[in-house]
Amino acid sequence: MAAKRNYTVAVARGLNVREEPSTEAKVINVLLYKDKVVIDPDAEAPDGWAAVKGGGFVMREYIK
């Protein structure tokens, strides 16, 4: 089991947290620039996406 990792939102306009790993999926939350987010590396997500601890998916290119 991999450890969970903390990331920071790196996009000034905010980052959508989506119900499914798709840009067509419903937005369930919006994270603001420099918000902290915990990614669950044990959850399955397709390339380019990350599963957020507590639910939802974000695009990896917008977190660091």
Q: What is the pTM of this model?
A: 0.89
Residue 22 corresponds to which tokens in the numbers above?
């798709």
User: Mapping DSSP to helix (H, G, I), strand (E, B) and coil, where does residue 61 land?
Assistant: helix
Using only C-alpha atoms, the chain has a radius of gyration, in whole angstroms, of 11
Listed residue (22, 14, 13, 21) closest to 39, CA to CA: 21
8: which strand partners? Answer: 36
| Mean of pLDDT over the chain | 92
> Domain extents for the chain?
5-62
Does the pLDDT at position 1 exceed 70? no
* SS3 call for 60: helix
Domain range 5-62, CATH class:
mainly beta
Residues, the chain: 64
